[in-house]
Amino acid sequence: MTHRPLLRVGGRTIGAMRVGIAAAVVLVLVYAYALRIGAGDSNPFDFFGYFTNQTSLLAAIVLGTVGGRLVAGRPVPSWLTTARAVVTAYLIVVAVVYNVLVPGTGSAPPWVSFLLHGVFPVVMLLGWILIGDRPRLPWRMLWVLLPYPAVWLTVVLIRGVTDGWVPYGFLLPGRGLPSLTAHIVGLIAAIVASGAVVWALSRTKPRVVLAHPRRSR
């Protein structure tokens, strides 16, 4: 049985690519927010209340930070790699929910939705699968997926019963407790399942390894 050889790519090259991708995502989010301002809706709590926008911004920050450290020739701490795994899992859920369950919804231009719900999640997932700067994540750490969506859901539900704003219709309190509970449980289950996939992929053999430059003596 033959194995395909690993491709060696400079760590700074990978880092620069990640910084560029992160910067592009931030620019897309800024552009989308500017459109909302132009339409008379400048409330940042509404725009960034969407799970897609929040997780895309968070993923861009994490990816850009990882890339910046690689460009600088600095090691990436394990907690930052775990954070990349977590945001990758979130983006998988974003992509699946939007493209499978509620395709074509939202007020953003189609190309913005395509980038945030399609291209960026795929890029993050492929980067996790193919590039070998990831350790085997311990299963006991799978719980780190939960605090962020738990806080997000809490804030959304509080807003739903106070000012009546929710980012997605299935989280409207008026739909009734059974429906609300079912959707929340389903969302949490999807996040855990997505995280389990990312955790499992950390045990697969990558196709690209980082070639760090030798330090001169």
- Determine the pLDDT at residue 212: 66
Q: Give per-residue pLDDT as tens, 85-123.
A: 999 999 999 999 888 876 655 667 889 999 999 999 999
Q: Which residue has the higher pLDDT, 145 or 213?
A: 145
216 pLDDT exceeds 50? no
6: CB partners within 8 A, 6+ apart: 132, 206, 207, 208, 209
- Determine the pLDDT at residue 13: 93
Give CA angle at 116 (149, 14), nearest 5°.
95
The mean pLDDT of the chain is: 90
For residues 53 and 30, give the distance between their C-alpha atoms in angstroms, rounded to a whole number. Answer: 10
- Determine the pLDDT at residue 198: 98
Average pLDDT in the 115-136 region? 95
**Owner of token pair 């049985």:** 1
- Determine the pLDDT at residue 173: 83
27: CB partners within 8 A, 6+ apart: none
Q: Give per-residue pLDDT as tens, 25-82.
A: 999 999 999 999 988 888 888 999 999 999 999 999 999 999 999 999 999 999 999 9
- Determine the pLDDT at residue 174: 82
User: What interhelical angle do 78-96 and 51-71 show, nearest 10?
Assistant: 140
Q: Give per-residue pLDDT as tens, 144-187.
A: 999 999 999 999 999 988 988 888 888 888 888 898 999 999 99
Is the pTM for the entire model greater than 0.85? yes
